[in-house]
Chain A
């Protein structure tokens, strides 16, 4: 069965500092991997995704993530944090729930705080 672990439920950085949000996954088949962002009381917005091909994936708002198969990781980074990056971030892996394609398995989320 597929699973996702996000290390750290809360991460705090200073404005301008590097953002690193960690995601490790478990999957018995080649995974599709996703990062979503959620602002308070809103739905989830796709930041970036990995399906096949290039392992370094660039997304919106300056975020990027690297798929490392040997480490089963898909960590999210941004070189310089902005106040507007404060939100909750979810990592997700493709799942085959009940034998059906199409489902995503989500991590529990990491709340990012950005200090001025």
Chain B
């Protein structure tokens, strides 16, 4: 089955630790996106990548980093510099930027204590 996988579903970390969230797609999509979702806030764009080895900051990139070494993979690292990392993180992809239609993964709920 084609789709987007995010792992793990739930992640717990201690404050001060970096943590990497996985996002893999087998849809052969060019573009990939990371969003953060907080209750009542909608989805806020963290980073996006329209092509391999290139990525751009979104609205709330501070405290996060990404890489795009392969077309299929777009991991997100939440660093210790992110002041309020507890949230639901969603990864998405689109066949190309010009279509705008994004497909979403199931999400990872990160809890930092």
Bound together: yes
CB contacts (< 8 Å) of B102 on chain A: these are 46, 104
Size category, A interface: 20 to 34
User: A36's closest neighbor in chain B, by CB?
Assistant: B104
- The reply to whether A102 and B42 contact each other, CB–CB distance below 8 Å, is no
Q: Map CB proximity to B onto A21-39 as digits: 1 under 8 Å, 0 otherwise.
A: 0000000000010101000
B residues touching A (Cβ–Cβ < 8 Å)? 4, 6, 31, 33, 40-43, 45, 48, 50, 56-58, 88, 90, 92, 94, 96-107, 109
Residues of A within 8 A of B (CB): 9, 32, 34, 36, 41-46, 49, 51, 90, 94, 97-98, 100-104, 106-109
Could you list 23 examples of A-B contacts with CB < 8 Å? A41-B107, A43-B4, A43-B107, A46-B102, A46-B103, A49-B101, A90-B42, A90-B43, A97-B56, A97-B58, A98-B56, A98-B57, A100-B50, A100-B97, A102-B48, A102-B96, A102-B98, A103-B33, A103-B45, A103-B58, A108-B40, A108-B42, A109-B42
